[in-house]
Structure 1
Amino acid sequence: MTVLLDIAKSPAFLVSLIALIGLLVQKKSAADIVKGTIKTFVGFLVLSAGAGVVSGSLEPFGGMFEAAFNVKGVVPNNEAIVSMALQQFGTITALVMFFGMLANILIARFSKMKHIFLTGHHTLYMACMYAVIFSVAGFKGVSLILVGALALGATMTLSPFILQPFMRRMTGGDGVGLGHFGGVGYWLAGSIGKLVRGKKEKVVSTEDINFPKGLAFLRDSTVSIALTMMVIYVIIAIVAGPQYVAKNYPDGGNFIIFALTKGGEFAAGVYIILQGVRLILNEIVPAFKGISEKVVPDAIPALDCPIVFTFAPNAVLIGFFSSFVGGIVSMIAMGVLGTVVILPGVVPHFFCGATAGVFGNAEGGLKGSIIGSFMHGILISFLPIFLMPVLGDLGFANSTFSDADFGIGGIFFGTLANKGAQGAVIAGLVILYVLIFGYTFFKKKGSDVE
């Protein structure tokens, strides 16, 4: 189980292993196998390093925001809530994850839903959440592992499946899917983008923004992201005050220099992510062809959310800020309504909000990106309010799951458990699998979900 958890925590290892298998199945030369496997491995390490730089640059932002505006509440953060849950549910989580991955592969093999979910750490997080929820519902031992694995396998299948029409529009085909448990939020953003577009064939993309001649340098996404984040960071630092930086980051030096550096680090992280994505896409898609041909016909690799960032770099920044604004608006509304206050977590609003911005842009251009990611920000702010009560004792922690699919899946199964206990949960699983395999039998040739 320890080895399984270690693999899950290392998407670079998991995906490079998949690439290795695909290249071996295709009987590629030893040189091609070594090259493809190592470049995939390195590509994911580059992507992870970039994500680490972005997360590190954003970490002070959340604290400065709370200090600047004197707000307190629950901070959604997958890593924080999972680290607490694994102390009690570590072994069950590993077993749910392992058999859930098998369920995903079997569904892809025997149904028309062909995505194989390859984002290992998100698989681990979802397995952990289901282990908690079904344990609260009274499942134990083998039954807990079984229902958890079936729920996880269905979620790993459905999340990328509903996004594929948008991915097809972005990428021009079905070579790659999105494997990240913010799927419902991205679907919402894409659908809003489509609604905003209406019957127009062409829209103004975030990548077609016309800058005045003297500001043409802003078309370089690295420059525009760096400048924007520097300005935002400096404003927050000024409001929070130099004392905050001096107390919490004693090695940060002058608070303005500290803010400018963090803004620059954010842009550097995004740049690194984009380079890693390009490296991965050049290797994993051709390598996956071997698995598609031999093991799961027409299989589609579903990869982590930064995989879409290269298709609209400007939408990444626009999506982040629009989603964050949605989180702030939601926070204010919660204060007025007297509910639990969910603070806008900067990391989920960046990774998920940026992805929502790309999806909104793919369908509705600039307007779709702004509105779609704004509504996404509201969605991931309010979902945790309804998720927390079904998490048992874990629901009283000062953190919770952040991304949309955790909220949807957790609320769905948690509510079933509260209403009818184990029988209702089993009925819900039956319905999900009837939908998955029913689609397989009733899908018309050449059609797809829209």
Structure 2
Amino acid sequence: MDATQDVVVWIADNVFSQVPILIGLITLAGLVAQRKAVEDVVGGTLRATVGVVVLLIGIDIFTGGLSSFQEIVSSAVGLDAPSADNTLNDFLAGAGSRVPLVIAFGFLLHLILVRIFPAARYVYLTGHLLFWMSVVVAATLVEAFGEVDAVPLVVVGSVVLACYWTLQPLWIAPLMRRVVGTSDFGLAHTTSVVNLAAGYGAKRLGDPEEHDTEKLKLPRQLSFFKDVTVSTALVIGVIMLVAMVFADHDVVAEQAAAYDESISPWAWGFIAALRFAAGIAILLYGVRMFLAEIVPAFKGISDKIIPNSRPALDVPTIFPKAPTAVMVGFLATTATFLVLMGVFAATGWFVLVPPMIMLFFGGGAAGAFGNAVAGWRGAVFGGVVNGFVLGFGQWIGWQLYSDTAPELATLADADWYAVGWLLMAAGEPLSAMPGGIWVLPAIVLAATVGVLLALGRRERRPTETVDADTAAAEEK
């Protein structure tokens, strides 16, 4: 039994949690299933894998800048992060140590659901979020049911996550098609709830053609802002330098010294903005590189292994479609969160921590989805919504996860809150029942199957109607 568990944990740690390897294996399987020539299999697999590595390098570069930005902003507003008796590391060393098993069995069940139900369609391939959502669900189950043994934690967590990974790309699919203009791939990301709010909430705010962020008319002297790399460097540079004016000198000096001990803090601030913009440019190049391989390669998976399936991919895959909207959403969500930081501090409610990585990805994604339905007005709306969700989510979530890993509240995307809080609400009455924890996966799985069956019937209905009309016409 221990040997089997070790194998499962090894696979979870070295395949599911390693995005380049996961994407490379999927591409390899797809190309082999299509019986491509050896040179095409080797070349396509390596290009897809390298593309993901390039994407991750870009993310590492600009998220490093975001981390420094977060420290500077926190110092500028004079707030210290909240403290707690329990930590994420403590949880991962305890009940959270079962997370690799949850990932492995949950992903297997997810593949089974996609294989059995044609309406499921999307295979969830965002590796790092397989891990983080598993942590969220495991912590939520412990908060809701108290001490949970290993078997129920793994089984219940696997079922809940398999259902989430199956349904999440589906509920965002209609809006996703509007953003990227195709249904060749879906979105597998924990910003989906706020993207839904941005897409459907912004519909009446503007016209997607007339107000499209990518078609904004600027004076000739400001036309350089249409280049997202240039505009990113300038905007982030101004924000960084202004924040440094109000931040503690020692904090600024520490961040600059981590980059180069001999550099002036002001020169470092400007270079940090340039590195942020460079990271975005590298990320976008990596996205284009691996999309060019994974989408056609996945046809082999769709034809031979999991019929009619499509890959559901990480949120940066939408950024090349509307890079200006991404920046608008990021700036709107950051401004909203900073205002909430001031409001919360003034009222004494809670000390908010600016989660710059979540502000960028969540705000950028919400900006792109808002832009798809209402142009720049929708992008601003999406960013504002994300800012409110992250601000109030931190405040509420810190208390809800106080006995396990309160830091999850400050690292979260919108789906972390939505899934976690729904599980807690369902777990409260079930925890009072003998064996109540086993009722939870039965409810979640039954609801998921019901949704997939309903979607399948709805998708078949137009085909059946067409076939009936054709038969009637042939009879005549």
User: TM-score, normalising length from structure 2?
Assistant: 0.87
* 8 A Cα contact 2:394 2:409, kept in partner: no
Residue aligning to 2:186: 177
Specify whether residues 74 and 358 from structure 1 end up closer, same or farther in structure 2 by C-alpha distance, changes over 3 A only: farther
* 8 A Cα contact 1:316 1:354, kept in partner: yes
Residue aligning to 2:472: none
1:67 correspondence with 2:75: yes
Instruction: State the AA in 1 paired with 2:65.
Output: S
By how many angstroms is 1:344 displaced? Answer: 2.2
* 8 A Cα contact 2:138 2:157, kept in partner: yes
Residue aligning to 2:19: 11
* 8 A Cα contact 1:320 1:357, kept in partner: yes
SS across alignment from 2:203: helix
By how many angstroms is 1:377 displaced? Answer: 1.4
**Distance in 1 (alpha carbons) for counterparts of 2:189 and 2:262:** 34
1:277 correspondence with 2:282: no
Counterpart among 102, 109, 125 of residue 108 in structure 2: 102
**Distance in 1 (alpha carbons) for counterparts of 2:95 and 2:60:** 26
Counterpart among 205, 225, 249 of residue 196 in structure 1: 205
- For the aligned residue pairs, the C-alpha RMSD in angstroms reads 2.3
* 8 A Cα contact 1:390 1:415, kept in partner: no
The answer for unaligned runs of 5 or more in structure 1 is none
1:369 correspondence with 2:384: no
By how many angstroms is 1:294 displaced? Answer: 1.4
By how many angstroms is 1:163 displaced? Answer: 1.2
Counterpart among 301, 320, 324 of residue 311 in structure 2: 301
By how many angstroms is 1:446 displaced? Answer: 7.0
Q: Deviations over 1:382-430 (max 9, x none)?
A: 2233334443522455964411111111111122222321356346424
1:383 correspondence with 2:393: yes
**Distance in 2 (alpha carbons) for counterparts of 1:84 and 1:290:** 43
SS across alignment from 1:194: coil
Specify whether residues 204 and 5 from structure 1 end up closer, same or farther in structure 2 by C-alpha distance, changes over 3 A only: same
Counterpart among 253, 266, 272 of residue 246 in structure 1: 253
**Distance in 2 (alpha carbons) for counterparts of 1:373 and 1:186:** 10
Q: Which moved more, 1:133-142 or 1:269-278?
A: 133-142
Report which of the two structures shows the higher radius of gyration computed on alpha carbons: 2
Q: Which moved more, 1:244-253 or 1:234-243?
A: 244-253
* 8 A Cα contact 2:208 2:373, kept in partner: no
* 8 A Cα contact 1:206 1:315, kept in partner: yes
Q: Deviations over 1:9-58 (max 9, x none)?
A: 31011111101011111111101100110001000000000000011111
Instruction: State the AA in 2 paired with 1:142.
Output: V
Q: Which moved more, 1:417-426 or 1:351-360?
A: 417-426
**Distance in 2 (alpha carbons) for counterparts of 1:203 and 1:43:** 34
Instruction: State the AA in 2 paired with 1:186.
Output: N
Q: What is the aligned residue count?
A: 441
Residue aligning to 1:163: 172
1:229 correspondence with 2:236: yes
1:263 correspondence with 2:247: no
Specify whether residues 184 and 201 from structure 1 end up closer, same or farther in structure 2 by C-alpha distance, changes over 3 A only: closer
Residue aligning to 2:56: 48
By how many angstroms is 1:356 displaced? Answer: 1.1
Residue aligning to 1:88: 94
Q: Deviations over 1:104-132 (max 9, x none)?
A: 11221222121110011100111122222
**Distance in 2 (alpha carbons) for counterparts of 1:417 and 1:115:** 28
**Distance in 2 (alpha carbons) for counterparts of 1:279 and 1:184:** 28
Specify whether residues 298 and 207 from structure 1 end up closer, same or farther in structure 2 by C-alpha distance, changes over 3 A only: same
**Distance in 1 (alpha carbons) for counterparts of 2:352 and 2:12:** 33
Residue aligning to 1:316: 326
Specify whether residues 396 and 303 from structure 1 end up closer, same or farther in structure 2 by C-alpha distance, changes over 3 A only: closer
**Distance in 1 (alpha carbons) for counterparts of 2:363 and 2:167:** 20
1:360 correspondence with 2:367: no
**Distance in 2 (alpha carbons) for counterparts of 1:336 and 1:442:** 53
SS across alignment from 1:226: helix
Residue aligning to 2:342: 332
**Distance in 2 (alpha carbons) for counterparts of 1:165 and 1:363:** 12
Residue aligning to 1:141: 150
**Distance in 2 (alpha carbons) for counterparts of 1:210 and 1:348:** 30
1:437 correspondence with 2:447: no
**Distance in 2 (alpha carbons) for counterparts of 1:226 and 1:396:** 34
By how many angstroms is 1:96 displaced? Answer: 0.6
Instruction: State the AA in 1 paired with 2:297.
Output: A
SS across alignment from 1:113: coil
Specify whether residues 132 and 230 from structure 1 end up closer, same or farther in structure 2 by C-alpha distance, changes over 3 A only: same
Specify whether residues 357 and 364 from structure 1 end up closer, same or farther in structure 2 by C-alpha distance, changes over 3 A only: same
* 8 A Cα contact 2:120 2:166, kept in partner: yes
By how many angstroms is 1:91 displaced? Answer: 4.0
The answer for unaligned runs of 5 or more in structure 2 is 1-8, 463-476
